[in-house]
A and B are shown apart, each in its own frame.
Chain A
């Protein structure tokens, strides 16, 4: 007598307990229909939590709806909300703040990320240990990073102020990184760079490791200098990888919220109020739901457009 596995026994018991009528109906279904039967709950869930809110937000962006006044009549106001958002100088300011944040974080992350990848790729003694150590910030939660950098930036007891004071020869308590208008934008740039440079480094490292040694050996035979090898071999071959990392980080930083809220909450004043922070204020503090929906759609279309470029770059890398 052959022994049956536990899974087989469970399957048999399920088959036996299925009412004969239902079993007959299932037996009559095609493979395609059974596949749809399994996939449908997931599709319904996705429609409920992704597609419906998107469609509803698009609808709300054309109305005067306010989420804190449920009994108020909802009026269709056409493109008025879009017109208001796109002529609002405060929104324009928050997008400039976002641009400042995105551009400088990208600049520093590319320079430092590529530099670190270049060093790690030298395969020096203990390079695995240093790689792990460098990758640690990327693995932390943005809320945790925001909290402990708030302590590091404390003018009285903060390590950052102490180190800057030590090297610059100034009193550590003479400046406040997250309390001064001219320093706060740089404070959030420093933290984001510290957290996400490892990500750029990791992708650059993948690019550097994909370059075959024989290309450098051929360049050596042709007596190409190290400088020439760097600009003619390393940079062009790593560039698609770097471009991917930059596009991904641009999209992520454009939507940045948690880290900056923990650090500065958009202050002092509105010098670190990124687009996403302003959006949250308009939606859940001022309760201008229709207006904030229009702003959200504008941000969504922008990110979607940039994501298209990202997908195109990704396909180019795949073709290589």
Chain B
């Protein structure tokens, strides 16, 4: 705890804005998982059509953000 009583740990939004690896990697992981679900779901052909773009976005994003500082 800091002297003014607030926690020193930055919020999730702050860590996003400071381009920290953790939250961005989590976001990329979620995008990949959503894309994989879209690829294999049996409900809508449209979701299947856009699944590859989603997975590709998540994967490229993962590669980029894994070079961000901790």
Q: Which residues of A are interface residues toward B (Cβ below 8 A)?
A: 82, 86-87, 89, 92, 95-96, 98-99, 102, 298, 301-302, 304-306, 308-309, 312
Contacts and interface: CB of A to CB of B under 8 A. Distances in A.
B52 A82 contact: yes
A237 to B, nearest CB: 22
A91 to B, nearest CB: 8
Nearest to A250: B36
Contacts of B32: 305-306, 308-309
Contacts of A89: 45
B36 to A, nearest CB: 6
Contacts of A309: 29, 32-33
A95 B40 CA distance: 5
Interface stretch (B3-11, B12-20, B56-64): B56-64
20 contacts: A82-B52, A86-B51, A86-B52, A92-B45, A96-B40, A96-B41, A96-B42, A99-B40, A99-B42, A102-B40, A301-B55, A302-B52, A302-B55, A305-B32, A305-B58, A306-B36, A308-B28, A308-B32, A312-B25, A312-B29
A86 B55 CA distance: 13
CB-CB nearest 3 A-B residue pairs: A99-B40, A305-B32, A305-B59
Interface residues of B, number: 23
A98 to B, nearest CB: 7
Contacts of A98: 40
Contacts of A305: 32, 35-36, 55, 58-59, 62
- Most A CB atoms within 10 A — which of B25, B33, B40? B40
Contacts of A102: 40
A301 B25 CA distance: 17
Interface of B: 25, 28-29, 32-33, 35-36, 39-42, 45, 48-52, 55-56, 58-59, 62-63
B59 to A, nearest CB: 4
Contact of A298 (B29, B52, B58, B63): B52
A89 to B, nearest CB: 7
Contact of A302 (B36, B41, B50, B63): B36
A275 to B, nearest CB: 9
Contacts of A96: 40-42
Contacts of B40: 95-96, 98-99, 102
Contact of B39 (A87, A95, A304): A95
A98 B51 CA distance: 15
A309 B59 CA distance: 10
Nearest to B40: A99
A297 to B, nearest CB: 9
A305 B51 CA distance: 12
A89 B52 CA distance: 15
A308 B45 contact: no
Given A92-B45, A308-B59, 12 more contacts: A86-B48, A95-B39, A96-B40, A96-B42, A298-B39, A302-B36, A302-B39, A305-B36, A305-B58, A305-B59, A308-B62, A312-B29
Contacts of A312: 25, 29
A175 to B, nearest CB: 26
- Most A CB atoms within 10 A — which of B33, B52, B58? B52
A310 B63 CA distance: 13
Contacts of B41: 96, 99
Nearest to B48: A92
B43 to A, nearest CB: 10
Nearest to B51: A86
